[in-house]
């Protein structure tokens, strides 16, 4: 099977600078896909870019932590933080409450439905779903998101588990690599979900670049791409411009967004110039 590669930018709709970077990289032929945040401050700008670039695959970046929900807050109380209006601001608090059974799968389904419908009502053909901070690696989130995807005709979901060969390259911090190894035990429950097992909702062989988030510079990306084996892979990235709009957003990725932008422009054309390069696709091509 020939190698196929989806190059997906998360956080589409976060800021105009993130959106502009995504559009520029797609025009340069080094980015094939992006996942749009329904609650992003630059949502309308992202929708306009999506309509102007029909070859860009656009998924829904389901947000269950950080920011405002799309659903009426009173309809999803278990998803809210202490202010009872916003989603929990921290991933750790979300995961802790999820594992303690304090978060309703039904309410996850409701909010995911609201986010997907917002994209679809804006005329966006949703190629796939993934989740902000990879929360759908937990079965309590995987299950409702798969139900929602199938109900809305969405046939693909990100495999949230980085390929073991990728995180074994040693990119990113030690603590992040330890987290990847611990969370890898959730890989089997994800693959065992009926929708995944029987391919009602499909996915890739695996994801790459997750452990390198915040460290995905030109050298790191070149090392990952040099090891890319056969299969269908998704490169997870977060390109953007570190500008005044980004200063007003809660995110740990600031200056590194432009580093990722530059890395994609430098490395991907070089890879595509080699004999038998990977075929660049988006999730709608699966």
Report if residue 27 sits inside a domain: yes
Report if residue 33 sits inside a domain: yes
- If one compares 24 and 250, the residue with the highest pLDDT of the two is 24
Report if residue 55 sits inside a domain: yes
Report the C-alpha gap between 284 and 155 in whole angstroms: 8
Per-residue pLDDT at 274: 92
Report if residue 95 sits inside a domain: no
Report if residue 100 sits inside a domain: no
Owning domain of residue 37: 4-67+120-285
Per-residue pLDDT at 212: 84
- Helices 139-151 and 105-121 cross at an angle (nearest 10°) of 40
Q: What does the pLDDT look like over 154-182, one tens digit per residue?
A: 999 999 998 888 877 877 766 666 777 77
In angstroms, the Cα distances linking 68 to 80, 83, 259 are 9, 11, 28
In angstroms, the Cα distances linking 180 to 161, 166, 183, 275 are 8, 11, 5, 32
Nearest-10 Cα torsion for 264, 270, 274, 276: 20
Report the C-alpha gap between 252 and 231 in whole angstroms: 31
Q: What does the pLDDT look like over 227-257, one tens digit per residue?
A: 999 999 999 999 998 877 776 776 666 678 9
Report if residue 210 sits inside a domain: yes
What CATH number is associated with residue 217?
A: 3.20.20.370
Report the C-alpha gap between 107 and 222 in whole angstroms: 41
pTM recorded for the entire structure: 0.95
How many structural domains compose the chain? 1
Report the C-alpha gap between 230 and 198 in whole angstroms: 22
- 188: region left, alpha or beta (phi > 0 left; psi from -120 to 50 alpha): alpha
Report if residue 106 sits inside a domain: no
Report if residue 160 sits inside a domain: yes
For residue 102, the tally of other CB atoms under 10 A from its CB is 10
């Amino acid at each position: 099977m020939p190698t196929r590669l989806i190059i997906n930018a998360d956080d589409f709709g976060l800021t105009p600078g993130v959106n502009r970077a995504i559009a520029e990289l797609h025009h340069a032929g080094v980015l094939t896909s992006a996942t749009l945040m329904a609650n992003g401050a630059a949502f309308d700008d992202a929708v306009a870019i999506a309509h102007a670039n029909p070859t860009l695959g656009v998924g829904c970046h389901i947000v269950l932590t950080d920011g405002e929900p799309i659903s009426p807050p009173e309809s999803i109380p278990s998803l809210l933080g202490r202010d009872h209006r916003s989603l929990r601001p921290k991933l750790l608090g979300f995961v802790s409450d999820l594992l303690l059974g304090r978060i309703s799968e039904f309410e996850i389904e409701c909010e995911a439905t609201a986010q997907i419908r917002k994209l679809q009502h804006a005329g966006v053909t949703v190629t796939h779903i993934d989740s902000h901070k990879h929360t759908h690696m937990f079965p309590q989130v995987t299950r409702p998101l798969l139900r929602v995807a199938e109900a809305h005709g969405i046939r693909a979901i990100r495999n949230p588990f980085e390929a073991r060969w990728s995180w074994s390259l040693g990119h990113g911090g030690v603590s992040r690599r330890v987290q990847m190894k611990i969370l890898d035990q959730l890989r089997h429950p994800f693959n065992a979900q009926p929708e995944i097992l029987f391919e009602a909702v499909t996915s890739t062989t695996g994801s790459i670049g997750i452990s390198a988030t915040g460290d995905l510079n030109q050298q790191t990306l070149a090392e990952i791409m040099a090891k890319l084996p056969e299969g269908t892979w998704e490169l997870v990235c977060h390109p953007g411009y570190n500008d005044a709009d980004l200063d007003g957003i809660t995110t740990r990725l600031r200056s590194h967004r432009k580093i990722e932008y530059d890395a994609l422009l430098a490395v991907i054309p070089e890879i595509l110039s080699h004999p038998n390069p990977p075929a660049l696709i988006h999730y709608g091509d699966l």
